[in-house]
């Protein structure tokens, strides 16, 4: 699948500390160590969209989070191998296509194109490999075959011989989320699981391969025609494109369970590994009008709508970065107004012919971002530099240019 264009990223003199991020499974901030020094590879897999609707600010906040990770790694001199999927075959896509009277492929293609446009406008760095689930069917089939052969999966008898993964196939299942069984069952039912499916060994067992039903797309496999379950597609894509030693598995906090827990378990049971990824990183939810922004609730603020209204993507980006990535937070007109004011102020300050020394503020930006992507502190440091530049001036003729380059490279905001 075609990704979007890679925007220019300025090279800023100097080097900051190595990145430290909160790990969901360990419940603490700890170093992300993709290699022993500059030039070493860093790997990241982030779950992509199910393209049945347009990109909203919740999506944008998630992908901005991992864009910041990408930018910190580049600034540290790492080569970055970033993979993202598109779940272009799933029930919500079929349901929306049926509702709108369009082919599910047409709907998916349209919304993926809009997503790419939104990501490019927000200057989100694209993945090296952008993979649709329908492009990875052979990898999914191979992975399911291995799970069946090892006893980690089983086929349900009946008219529709679906294939299920045994939740107890790995002894460490549940370590990523840390949830108890009651919480798992509740979230499993709320987030695409089928705990009441007759014939399952355990209510938590997850669908790997859905046997072909009338009117649904399907692909051939040794265990019957059908299509992939949700979690296994990500396990298959990450394993085939990156392999072992994944540094970061990322996504929104609503994916912690069941999606990321099962994705990790699928890969671990086949590889015989303890951990699918060295770091599990999750972004908080964005709310609007008192509730989490979601397609099911319909309280969406779309990136494309804001852009059509003339809102600068740089202001959208700054508004989302004004809160910490792990915090659940609300979007509002006030957030956007403050972002626009900040953007104007920064542009005025970096447009001066001279300003205060830039070395200290650039070092602090790097320090704050390296400390679990602390964007509120990074933005505050830049606000302080801009205030000094506008109120007191300065004698460093290179400072405005250097600060603007750092804002672009590290925060992705082009002034």
- Write out the binding residues: 47-50, 62, 85-87, 230, 234, 252-254, 259, 286
Residues, the chain, total?
415
Beta bridge partners of 61: none
**Phi, psi at 206, each rounded to 5°:** -110, 145
Residue 277, Cα to own-chain centre: how many angstroms? 14
Burial of residue 14, with CB atoms counted within 10 A of its CB: 0-12 exposed, 13-18 middle, 19 or more buried:
exposed
Q: Nearest 10 degrees: CA dihedral of 132, 133, 135, 139?
A: 140
Mark the binding-site residues for Zn(2+), compressed into ranges.
Answer: 47, 234, 259
Q: Which residue ranges make up the annotated binding site for L-cysteinyl-5'-AMP?
A: 47-50, 62, 85-87, 230, 252-254, 286
Q: In 3-state terms, what secondary structure has residue 35?
A: coil
Check if the beta carbon of residue 279 is closer than 8 Å to that of residue 23: yes
258 closest CA partner among 144, 138, 382, 165: 165
Q: Distance (Å, rounded) from C-alpha 262 to C-alpha 259?
A: 5
Q: Which of 363, 378, 411, 403 is nearest to 68 (CA)?
A: 411
Report phi then psi at 21, rounded to 5: -135, 155
| DSSP H or E segment with residue 108 | helix 104-121
The three-state secondary structure class of 281 is strand
């Amino acid at each position: 699948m075609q990704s979007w264009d890679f925007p220019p990223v300025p090279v800023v003199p100097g080097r900051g500390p190595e990145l430290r991020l909160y790990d969901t499974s360990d419940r603490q901030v700890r170093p992300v160590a993709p290699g022993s020094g500059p030039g070493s590879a860093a790997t990241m897999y982030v779950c992509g969209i199910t393209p049945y609707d347009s990109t909203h600010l919740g999506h944008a906040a998630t992908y901005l989070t991992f864009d910041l990770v990408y930018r910190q790694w580049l600034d540290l001199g790492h080569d970055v191998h970033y993979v993202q999927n598109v779940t272009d075959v799933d029930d919500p896509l079929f349901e929306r296509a049926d509702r709108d009277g369009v082919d599910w492929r047409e709907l998916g293609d349209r919304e993926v194109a809009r997503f790419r446009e939104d990501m490019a406008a927000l200057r989100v760095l694209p993945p090296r490999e952008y993979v649709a689930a329908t492009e990875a069917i052979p990898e999914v089939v191979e992975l399911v075959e291995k799970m069946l052969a090892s006893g980690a999966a089983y086929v349900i008898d009946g008219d529709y011989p679906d294939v299920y993964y045994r939740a107890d196939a790995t002894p460490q299942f549940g370590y990523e989320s840390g949830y108890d069984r009651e919480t798992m069952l509740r979230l499993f039912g709320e987030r695409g699981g089928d705990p009441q499916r007759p014939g399952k060994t355990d209510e938590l067992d997850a669908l790997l391969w859905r046997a072909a039903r009338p009117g649904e797309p399907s692909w051939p496999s040794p265990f019957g025609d059908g299509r992939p379950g949700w979690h296994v597609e990500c396990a298959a894509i990450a394993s085939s494109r990156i392999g072992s030693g994944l540094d970061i598995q990322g996504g929104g906090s609503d994916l912690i369970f069941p999606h990321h827990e099962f994705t990790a378990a699928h890969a671990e049971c086949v590889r015989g590994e303890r951990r699918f990824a060295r770091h599990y990183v999750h972004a908080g939810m964005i709310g609007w009008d008192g509730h989490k922004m979601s397609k099911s609730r319909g309280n969406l603020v779309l990136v494309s709508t804001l852009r059509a209204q003339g809102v600068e993507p740089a202001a959208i980006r700054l508004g989302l970065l004004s809160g910490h990535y792990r915090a659940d937070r609300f979007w509002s007109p006030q957030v956007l107004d403050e972002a626009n004011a900040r953007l104007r102020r920064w542009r005025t300050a970096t447009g001066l012919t001279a300003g205060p020394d830039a070395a200290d503020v650039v070092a602090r930006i790097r320090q704050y971002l390296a400390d679990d992507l602390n964007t509120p502190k990074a933005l505050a440091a830049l606000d302080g530099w801009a205030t000094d530049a506008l109120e007191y001036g300065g004698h460093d003729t290179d400072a405005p240019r250097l600060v603007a380059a750092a804002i672009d490279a590290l925060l992705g905001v082009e002034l």
